[in-house]
Chains A and B, each alone.
Chain A
Amino acid sequence: MVRMTRLRTFKRLLSCGVLLASAGVIPKPASGLPPQARSPEELLALPGEIGKRGGRLVVSLRAEPKTLNPVTAVDAPSREVILGAMQADLIHINRATQLTEPALAKSWKVSADGLQYTLTLRKGARFSDGQPFDADDLLFTFRVYLDENVHATQRDQLIVGGKPIAVRKVNAQTVVFEFTKPYGAGERLFDGLAILPRHLLEKPYAEGKLSQVWTLATPANQWAGLGPFRLKEYIAGQKLVLERNPYYWKQDAKENRLPYLEELVFLFVPNADAQVLRFQSGETDLISRLGAENFSVLSREQRGYTMSDAGPGLEYNFLFFNLNEPGAKTSPDLTRKMKWFREAKFRQAISAAIDRNAIVRLVYQGRGAALWGPVTPGNRRWGNASVRHPQRSLEQARALLKEAGFTWTTGTDGEPGLVDSEANPVEFSILSSSTNADRTKMATLIQDDLKQLGIHAQVVPIEFRSLIDRVTQTKQYDACVQGLVSFDADPTADLNVWLSSGGTHLWNPSQAHPATAWEAEIDKLMEQQLDAPRYEQRKKAFDRVQEILADKQPMIFLASPDILVGAKNSIGNFHPAALEPYVLWNVEQLYFRGTSGSGRQ
């Protein structure tokens, strides 16, 4: 299944106001150190059910990862494997609470002016090959990420206010990050930044070959990370086998070193239906990213597994029109249509005519939520409660169209047809990704909704890549149904969508100057929320953004699906979350209950 996730913004800039909320997680020294330990380890103790060591967990991955190198990983499967299971970050966003918590940095301090972050690193932490991790690895990592010649995907994220973040070592356990612009608690930045082992990668980096190392063919002993699992074996086209990292720096409440599982296997199963079959036959232990229909198929006969609806996630689906400036290559036909699309009342009318509840019912079988803005009910802190949720109203849609100068004539078939002020019939096509049945279904429902306004819309399912090409490059399209999945609940995660200069500003991407006054205002507000030190101030700015979006309707928000997952009954500590990775976010705590648990059904 190809989703819009590929287009996700990789910018996760600093978010302020989200301060330490990890009181329950106190690092404590571990007993029972491996004999070869050289310095006392400060293991992070996780609360939760105490598990049992052993077992191999098998999950499906929708595509083969392209690389195991965090510097070059851009595709979703690579990121899922690398960030989810093989690497660790300095500060982590807890996928369940959506708040930050200590990870490799056991604590951190922010200076009064918000320009300095002092991170204290966990003592005695070691890479999966047993080599110690310290501040030098960290300095090396940031040197690599910020090096222009490396073209690291993380570089964008580390340029704040136009200047790269400066990193300074105080001692082996303390590092200071300096920003040029005041930032509040921007520790969300550090989530998802994998730490590179200097002892393995310094040489290739010096030789300028960093982007060529750590492919999938890398021998297991030349790979090292700080995550719960390390590379064991890769079989092209079939699977990636990871094994337990014996040096992992977390333990449970009873001081057992995590992870519990011996092995984690990713099977490459490209097709969603095939993933369902594998799960149903017991070949895989967990399943996530389920469509509502497959979910009800699996729910109907639960044999040894349990399905659960984890509630709305962060995916928002929307219809948008081509709001680009007509260029020299734009056909006269499209130029004429673009005049309608740029009329806010036209977009408001379309929005009023769409039956969102029908979308939730028919596309998601009720397992989802209708949307009137980009913030889904799964996002706990950022929704604007004052944005109205008007019910479908064809009368209102007709009134708006009339105000915008549209009229109705009786067509040849006796049905009323909408025409613009120059008597052109209002017709347009709606693109959708042919591999995404849900969105094609939404488009078909919208098509029927618009027919009642006398608008003749056509649904055109096309291949995902050519869809993206049309929307972001050639700009030859009328309208499109798409969806985005934010991978953090913080609004900065979607900065690329809302800033007019952003590449994912889908209705008119990568503008040099904001094309409209309201886009300029959104730009300003997004900058404001980036700079504001307190959550309340940031929330106020982002609330205003949501109001503008609701008024101008550059994206007509439709619906958000629930996160639907399933797991074998024998798996303990299974707590699906609304953020990616939905089921593997606490993979270090997952365990098999043993025969007593899985035997019964």
Chain B
Amino acid sequence: MSKQSGWKRWLVALAVLHGIIACAGFFAPYDPAEQDRDHPYLPPMKLHLVDSQGHFHARPFVYAAQLPDDALDPFEKSTAEPLPLHFFVTGARYRLLGLVPFRMHLFGAQKSRIYLLGSDAYGRDQLSRILYGGQISLLAGLLGAGLTLFLGVLIGAAAGYYGGWRDGLLMRAAELFVALPWLYLLFALRAFLPLSVSPVESFLLIVLVIALVGWARPARLVRGVVLSLKERDFVRAARAFGATDGYLLRRHILPGTSSVVLTQAAILVPQFVLAEMTLSFLGLGVPEPVPTWGSLLASLQQYSVLVSYWWMYVPALAIVPFFLGYLGLASALQRETGTEKIVRTTGGARW
């Protein structure tokens, strides 16, 4: 594996993963908010190719689940009725990529709903919720990281380049932001907001909060790089030739920080996804019935769910490939650009 293709492979893998989440409507068989009140906490259905009589079927199928007479728990498999999987079926309305109205889903079943990853307390399809939940969590992470880096580069470059009292002021502010007990401030903030915050508003709020918390660390990193860059010979030479501050920053200094910024981005995105999950887990995130990875895990706060329904943990597994992808990309980028030393010594944000 050449050095060059290392980070590209990670990038392709991430693009595929994000593509799946972006097209959640197509891959998810059902609407994530649709309740099936006869099937709460249904365990995942197994895909079969061989039926109970031993016959082979080319089309994969599942067995419907039923409650035993007069009981509410647990579900039993009813082998009487195989439910074959159908592909490219027409189902719940959704907008592909949030724009194009669409009704086609990758798969579905005709007679009854199928739950490949089980259902939650309201009989909502866990697979659909995980896919849709990723949209919010990942978007929050990406937007949050973008905003953070924008703020971080702006402040870090200003502090590093101008130095003096401006540097002192900005860096003390950064230290303050790192030291504040954010979680408690968030609780207080939520109490002041109007009661019913729509999902879009609370999503934007989360992104804003994540960015506000996060800018301090990248700002300090960028400042360090800028400090060393501005003393380099080529920068001094440019200045001697009469280059303005704006030109120097744009042309010589900021491009020099790009490797740090890119690597930071790859590290920050998963961190901010985790931040969103933390907020939603604590009920400060996007309200029901909109799913996010954090709110999907929130039901695990209940002891009974924790010990009874193992499939409620699955959303926690969903983040693993994404995190692996981002961290793999980050280390490949580090190797590529040789910024390893800087990043290693400064560590990440505290979430």
Chain A residues within CB distance 8 Å of chain B:
273, 276-277, 291, 293-294, 296-297, 300, 355, 358, 361-362, 365-366, 414, 428-429, 431, 434, 437, 441, 444-445, 447-448, 458-463, 466, 470, 476-478
Contacts and interface: CB of A to CB of B under 8 A. Distances in A.
- Lowest 6 A-B CB distances belong to which pairs? A293-B304, A273-B303, A429-B196, A358-B37, A366-B72, A458-B196
Contacts of B198: 458
B289 A460 contact: no
B195 interface: yes
22 contacts: A273-B303, A293-B305, A293-B308, A296-B308, A362-B121, A414-B93, A431-B195, A434-B283, A437-B302, A441-B121, A444-B288, A445-B122, A447-B288, A448-B35, A458-B196, A458-B198, A459-B288, A460-B196, A463-B191, A470-B195, A476-B195, A478-B195
Contacts of A362: 37, 40, 121-123
A294 B304 contact: yes
A276, A355, A458 interface centre (most CB from chain B within 10 Å) = A458
Nearest to A274: B303
A297 B73 contact: no
B60 interface: no
A198 B40 CA distance: 58
Contact of A296 (B37, B191, B289, B304): B304
B240 interface: no
A416 to B, nearest CB: 13
B146 interface: no
B40 A477 contact: no
Contacts of A445: 35, 37, 122
A447 B73 CA distance: 25
A355 B38 CA distance: 12
Contacts of A355: 37
B97 to A, nearest CB: 16
Nearest to A300: B308
Given A355-B37, A458-B196, A466-B191, A297 B304 contact: yes
Given A429-B195, A429-B196, A458-B196, A296 B73 contact: yes
B73 A365 contact: yes
Interface of B: 33, 35, 37, 40, 72-73, 93, 101, 121-123, 191, 195-196, 198, 283, 287-289, 302-305, 307-308
B122 A444 contact: yes
Given A361-B37, A429-B195, A273 B302 contact: yes
A463 B305 CA distance: 22
B195 to A, nearest CB: 5
Contacts of B123: 362
Given A414-B93, A429-B196, 4 more contacts: A294-B304, A444-B122, A445-B37, A448-B33
B306 to A, nearest CB: 8
Contacts of B195: 429, 431, 460, 462, 470, 476-478
A297 B303 contact: yes
Nearest to B38: A361
Contacts of B307: 297
Nearest to A366: B72
A411 to B, nearest CB: 13
A387 B202 CA distance: 43
A358 B307 CA distance: 24
B303 A294 contact: yes
Given A296-B304, A361-B72, A460-B195, A448 B289 contact: yes
B283, B304, B307 interface centre (most CB from chain A within 10 Å) = B304
Nearest to A333: B194
Nearest to A434: B283
Contacts of A365: 72-73
A431 B287 CA distance: 12
B30 to A, nearest CB: 14
B37 to A, nearest CB: 4
Nearest to A297: B304
B289 A444 contact: yes
Contacts of A358: 37
A462 B194 CA distance: 12
B309 to A, nearest CB: 10
Contacts of B283: 434, 461
A293 B288 contact: no
A358 B121 CA distance: 11
B128 to A, nearest CB: 15
A273 B101 CA distance: 44
Contacts of B303: 273, 276-277, 294, 297
A206 B236 CA distance: 89
A366 B198 CA distance: 32
Contacts of B93: 414
A297 B304 CA distance: 6
A414 B35 CA distance: 19
A294 B302 CA distance: 9
Contacts of A477: 195
Nearest to B299: A437
Nearest to B34: A448
Nearest to B309: A293
B118 to A, nearest CB: 15
Nearest to B298: A437
Contacts of B33: 448
A350 B351 CA distance: 43
A453 B191 CA distance: 30
A466 B35 CA distance: 30
A466 B33 CA distance: 28
B73, B101, B198, B305 interface centre (most CB from chain A within 10 Å) = B73
A458 B198 CA distance: 8
A293 B37 contact: no
B302 A293 contact: yes
A110 to B, nearest CB: 48
A407 B104 CA distance: 31
A293 B302 CA distance: 9
A353 B72 CA distance: 24
Contacts of A361: 37, 40, 72
A441 B289 CA distance: 11
Contact of A291 (B37, B40, B289, B304): B304
A273 B304 CA distance: 8
B11 to A, nearest CB: 34
Contacts of B101: 414
B72 A447 contact: no
A462 B288 CA distance: 13
